[in-house]
Chain A
Amino acid sequence: MRLFLYEMKKIFSWKLILLVLLVNLLMFKVLLEFDLEYFPNGRPAGDDFKIEQHIISKYGATMDEEEFLDLQATYEEEVAKADAFLANDPKAIAVEMDSYENFRDFDYGNEEKMAYHDEMFFNSEEDFPWVLQAYEGYLERYQHKEKALVANMKGATPAQKKRYEQLLEEEKFAVYTDTVTSNFKSYKTSMAIVIFLSVAILISPIFLRDVNAGVVPLQYSSKKGRSVYRTKWLAGLVSSILIASILLILYMTLYATNDTSSHFDLPLYTFGWDYFWYDITFLQYITLSIAVIFGMSVLLSILTMAISSLVPNTIVLIAVQIVIMFVMIAGGATVIINNLINIWYAQAFVPSVLTIFAVVTILVAGFVWRREGKRDIA
């Protein structure tokens, strides 16, 4: 235990902690902050999100005819408010846009009307142009609920087509926008990048540090002998679990400020644009994403430890880690994490890649373990 704590202490050296903090701060500013500060990102996303927070509690994951009529009634109430405003606005009257119908379906070639229309959208404190546009989106999505699924079937693989047909058959249509899911996808991809980088930085020197300091002969000839190697692995594993957990907790706590809990119980098919292989809820999707990021971080730490044990010097370590980090960011985070159960990739793609990653990592680690047990120490 004493030795394990010493090894942990070596991993969490103040220099590395500082570096990890610096990288996190930098990456937070560059990547993560945007998805927190600009969520929902402008209009109409902001209006969509506000409406969804209101209507999810009323309609749930699906919308039936009665709910549609209720939504339409709400829309018409909003239209009536807009009509009242426009009928009393001299500028609207001047350009003959004295009702919402006239405001919406106007002659785009008319410069005066266009100017008023733009002013209302972009330079006015009135919300109705955006709010009503958002409501229209929900109404149209219901009225043409099969359209997106049917359109996606064109050019789809047989497996994708089967999934779309299943959704059609089970009447699992998109009711809401992808404002929340696309934000989370972007956020979790950035989060994975930062966590992968942090794990790599912290774990990379684990074995090379002692080789460079020339202390391996003392370690292996001591009473503990080559079991020190196992202790270092254990310390590395615990450290990576610790850092991945801390960062996941930290970043998910920050994500909580986006206040998307209203969407947690919705199944993924109800969000527009993206389709998924499984009908899990948004909260389950978040949990799955966290679990995969965590699992990949642990696998990365094992691979990193194996590399740290194999490379002859720091320059080679950095070179190899740059390649691995490129694969982890471009492939692991941007493809795997971002498209976890997305229908755009074959159903078996992500599980296969993750399985290959795990098997390769375990094989490399196994080879390094066996080698370390019997190799002559220079």
Chain B
Amino acid sequence: MLKLENIGKNYGDFTALTNIHLQFDNGIYGLLAPNGAGKTTLIKMLVTLAAPTTGTIFYNDQPIATLGEKYREQIGYLPQHFGYYKHHSPKQYLRYLAALKGMDKRVVEERIDEVLECVALADVKNKKMRKFSGGMIQRVGIAQALLSDPKVLILDEPTAGLDPKERARFRHLLTELGRDKTILLSTHVVSDIESIANEIVMLKNKELLYKANPATICHTLDGKIFETAMSFHAFNDFRKDYLTLAEKQETGQMLVRFFTEQTPKSDWKQVSPQLEDVFLVAYADEQKG
């Protein structure tokens, strides 16, 4: 169990995060926030790449700073920008990372084959990564995070560069792993997590906005999401007054999905809020810039 108590992080005078209280048990947690909201800062503190300015992070009730390598051997981490040696093959690189992870030499080869199979890279395991596509590199990154069979998986933007098929395979993999691991998955792509996350963590203004299951978060917008149809001309005026969440053209008109707290009008159709709606509403001010 991973527990964050009153976590804050300052860089000089700049406050990146403040007053974060969180607890992660086994399961999949989606860390959802726009770019620059502090997701990566939070993750770096979780993987000991940065120290919190305030508060303490506990793993099984012990501060991770005290646990040191006993904590780090329990985590698998995929950074936002996965680094690698271009002249290495996936197998060579995973061998090096296995040494870093202090893995038993006797099981390394077998485990490397397993994780590369898992991310569908077994057939290129001896090829130099220099010629790999972005998606293939990202899959090597996922493989290394899984290599030591960690109890805690922390993945920063893991689906970046993956095609839809690979994303689907990845989600399936996480669903399987989430049964006996704590998985924290940071993303700004809602579709990556809405179907698989047990809980969503949302950050805003350097603080925790939500930590709840997707349905509960969606319920916060009950009765505030509507759809209506209008002409193109009317749409231009409409969107000045309302926060539009989606729109599409349909039979010469605009079908608009929007958020409002006003009393509904007769031609508005109330719809069920989706996680995407919550995200867009929550960060509407930031998106407007």
Contact = CB atoms under 8 A, between A and B. Distances in A.
Interface stretch (A221-229, A249-257, A320-328): A221-229
Contact of B83 (A3, A215, A374): A215
A217 B101 CA distance: 13
B51 A222 contact: no
Contacts of A213: 83-86
A3 B97 CA distance: 9
Interface in A69-112: none
A218 B99 contact: no
Interface stretch (B31-39, B70-78, B112-120): B70-78
B68 interface: yes
A218 B51 contact: no
Contact of B144 (A2, A216, A218, A223): A218
Contact of B75 (A216, A221, A374): A221
B77 A221 contact: yes
A215 to B, nearest CB: 4
A74 B102 CA distance: 75
Contacts of A220: 48-49
B48 A2 contact: no
Which one of A213, A214, A223, A374 has the highest number of Cβ atoms from chain B below 10 Å of its Cβ? A223
A324 to B, nearest CB: 27
Contacts of A182: none
Q: Using C-beta atoms within 8 Å of the partner chain, give the interface range for chain B.
A: 20 to 34
A2 B50 CA distance: 27
Given A6-B99, A219-B100, A220-B48, A225 B72 contact: yes
A47 B148 CA distance: 72
B273 interface: no
B77 A218 contact: yes
B100 A222 contact: yes
A223 B72 contact: yes
A376 B44 contact: yes
Given A2-B105, A6-B96, A228-B100, A376 B51 contact: yes
Contact of A376 (B50, B85, B148): B50
B158 interface: no
Nearest to B93: A215
A376 B83 CA distance: 17
B82 interface: yes
B247 to A, nearest CB: 39
B99 A2 contact: yes
A contact patch SS: helix
Contact of A225 (B68, B79, B85, B105): B68
Contact of A217 (B83, B85, B99): B83
Which one of B99, B102, B148 has the highest number of Cβ atoms from chain A below 10 Å of its Cβ? B99
B99 A225 contact: no
Interface in B52-75: 68-69, 72-73, 75
Contacts of A6: 96, 99
B82 A221 contact: no
A39 B51 CA distance: 62
Contacts of B239: none
Given A6-B96, A223-B100, A214 B68 contact: no
A311 B97 CA distance: 25
A377 interface: yes
B81 interface: yes
B84 A377 contact: no
A214 B84 contact: yes
29 contacts: A6-B99, A210-B83, A213-B85, A214-B82, A214-B83, A215-B83, A215-B85, A216-B83, A218-B82, A218-B100, A219-B100, A220-B48, A221-B75, A221-B77, A222-B72, A222-B100, A222-B101, A222-B102, A223-B72, A223-B100, A223-B101, A223-B102, A224-B69, A225-B72, A376-B44, A376-B49, A376-B50, A376-B51, A377-B49
Given A218-B79, A221-B72, 15 more contacts: A213-B83, A214-B84, A217-B77, A218-B97, A218-B144, A222-B100, A223-B72, A223-B100, A223-B102, A224-B101, A225-B68, A225-B72, A376-B44, A377-B49, A377-B50
Interface of A: 2-3, 6, 210, 213-225, 227-228, 374, 376-377
